[in-house]
A and B are shown apart, each in its own frame.
Chain A
């Protein structure tokens, strides 16, 4: 019996295409991307790293609220997103705001989300749900959105993101299992950044990999280097093609790391992570190795990178200004959107609040 488990686990060796030195180590698996696409992906990653740094300092200045740092996870987040179509649906976790931004969410709305302003959840024109707060609950919904896409005969997928902790939730298994049973075009991405707040992945499960949990649901599973843009992109691309061909969902585990704290609300990673571990992972940095690769191809330069940094800073500044100008939220606004037609109890409460608000 022990051997059987080992055999299963061995199928989930981590796939890597671009190593830490920026060299292609798996030519066969290398996805097809044009020079412009490569540069665009790099642009997004550099931009997002700047956004992360700025968001952290804006949070420290009290100018942003809830914020979950993203540095370290750019390849997992943005290369996976890069394999999607605009009409694909995203059901993100709370740390997955970058994917929403590159799916079309205006930056000022991301800032309003951070500030707890409900306009931040209103994402007209973006094929995505709000960032998930209840860990794992979006995973069963992804199965439903995907099933709906299939029923409508759309050539699109629903993709969801969670973390290593999320993979312990019952909804994680239920969502994969439902999507598998219906052969729904869903992609389940687990960004395994090794810690669910403070709890190490080893304590989440006896399973050696999260990807192998796909076996129980009877769906495809793959584990990739989550710091490697090409491995992540190729896995999602393949999963997407398979999903659209009616071959069912895929679970993708990306091995990654968040450099920062869980969120900016007082988490101190030094309580549960060592400096050695931080250093070990920072050596794997997704932007550094991608930059090395692009420079070796003559596709990227310091000058180009500086341009992206400056552009990001400018746009962030403008977006913060726009977020500052957002109208103040009112309780009556919230009451108004509770039901299509307000029940009498809420109508009465609305009157009460509206008298208060007009003062």
Chain B
């Protein structure tokens, strides 16, 4: 039996808002906290209309202090609430790093589950919107290295809402990264009401035989573009949107590279110590003898994200990804 589900066309950021609204309605323990999330509806309008709908007791404008926002939310979480924190830009999370690294991620183990931190930290991340310094960082690998938290990155409206609801329902802390470059880059069908997309599962966006391409967030569009261009040249690409960066979907990674024998990983974060390195390791662990070419990584450079004048040169583009695919298939 199939159930008819109404869907609505919306942008990624609207899907985030819809997910937040759904969970504020669903569970009275859910609170939103952050800078400008109340009356202003967030600088990207991700919380637009929510304060009006649910009141200041649940959609809370906080003082401008990231460590304080996360620390206070940890306190609320330990006291039975489900705080959803907005860090205005991922690059603003560094003052709260201590709270996340030394507490949010450790309280469950420290107290053997007596206290848990079912908190979601939402943060717009990545470059491409001509923002000032530190507004465009892709710092996901700092958090995939932290035991005790999960790191989730949607690349389209449907996943944004489904993964956000899964993150809110997850009993452990989740860092939910929203690719701001594609916040409003087109609309997609999003079901009304509550549904989830499972954390820890990648998604095959395109079926192919010759090379596997891994991407997440705003890089998914870049990877898809490169894959389509390469198809015209007769190279068939299997494109995987990883969607969760911790825990990584080892099964889908192994399955695709065992089919293609080649892999190209695309991320906009700096190359060294990036999540790409973990994917390479997993391919090595699971599929060493299947590989027909060295794995290519197309990434940002090992510099800070430059002033936005240079951001187009810094972020991987379709051309760089195509070159990497060519290199892999011609090895």
Contacts and interface: CB of A to CB of B under 8 A. Distances in A.
Whether chains A and B associate is yes
A140 B99 contact: yes
Contact of B95 (A121, A122, A142, A170): A170
Nearest to B31: A151
Contact of A178 (B68, B109, B147): B68
B113 interface: yes
B247 interface: yes
Contacts of A181: 63
Contacts of A260: none
Contacts of A146: 75
A344 interface: yes
Interface residues of B, number: 43
Contact of B250 (A149, A170, A174, A345): A345
A79 B25 CA distance: 44
Interface stretch (A123-131, A251-259, A280-288): A123-131
A177 interface: yes
B110 A175 contact: no
Contacts of B196: none
A337 B150 CA distance: 15
A337 B75 contact: no
B71 A171 contact: yes
Nearest to A146: B75
A122 B99 CA distance: 20
B6 interface: no
Contacts of A130: 110-111
B92 interface: no
B62 A148 contact: no
A142 B247 CA distance: 31
Contacts of B250: 344-345
Given A118-B110, A337-B109, A140 B67 contact: yes
A175 to B, nearest CB: 7
A345 B75 contact: no
Contacts of A340: 108, 113, 116, 171-172
Interface in B29-84: 57, 62-63, 65, 67-68, 70-81, 83
A348 B20 CA distance: 34
A334 interface: yes
Contact of B68 (A119, A123, A140, A344): A140
B68 A175 contact: yes
Contact of A171 (B67, B81, B113, B115): B67
A137 B63 contact: no
Interface residues of A, number: 42
B91 interface: no
Interface string A111-155: 000000011011110000110011001011111111111011000
Nearest to A181: B63
A171 B68 contact: yes
A134 B75 CA distance: 16
A338 B147 contact: yes
A178 B67 contact: no
Nearest to A186: B75
B72 A140 contact: yes
Given A344-B247, A344-B250, A148 B63 contact: no
A124 B62 CA distance: 32
A92 B62 CA distance: 25
B67 A170 contact: yes
Contact of B65 (A147, A158, A177): A177
B200 interface: yes
A137 B98 contact: yes
A343 interface: yes
B233 interface: no
A345 B73 CA distance: 28
A251 B108 CA distance: 29
B259 interface: no
Contacts of B63: 174, 177-178, 181
B71 A140 contact: yes
Nearest to B118: A340
Given A134-B102, A140-B75, A148-B76, A339 B65 contact: no
Contacts of B102: 133-134, 137
B73 A144 contact: yes
Nearest to B200: A343
A341 to B, nearest CB: 8
A174 B65 contact: yes
A332 to B, nearest CB: 12
Interface in B131-187: 147-148, 150, 171-172
Contacts of A345: 247-248, 250
Interface in A266-300: none
Contacts of A129: 78, 111, 115
A268 B156 CA distance: 59
Contacts of A140: 67-68, 70-72, 74-75, 99
Listed residue (A147, A170, A181, A346) with the most chain B CB atoms within 10 angstroms of its CB: A147
B247 A343 contact: yes
B81 A151 contact: yes
Contacts of B78: 129, 141, 144-145, 148
Listed residue (B72, B98, B171, B172) with the most chain A CB atoms within 10 angstroms of its CB: B72
25 contacts: A118-B110, A121-B111, A122-B112, A137-B102, A140-B70, A140-B72, A140-B74, A140-B75, A141-B99, A143-B68, A143-B72, A143-B75, A148-B76, A148-B79, A151-B57, A174-B68, A175-B72, A177-B63, A177-B65, A178-B65, A338-B108, A340-B172, A345-B247, A345-B248, A346-B247
Given A144-B77, A346-B247, 12 more contacts: A137-B98, A137-B102, A141-B71, A147-B72, A158-B75, A170-B65, A174-B67, A178-B63, A337-B108, A337-B109, A338-B109, A339-B172
State the 8 A-B residue pairs at the shortest beta-carbon distance, nearest first: A144-B75, A140-B71, A148-B79, A343-B247, A174-B68, A144-B72, A145-B75, A141-B75
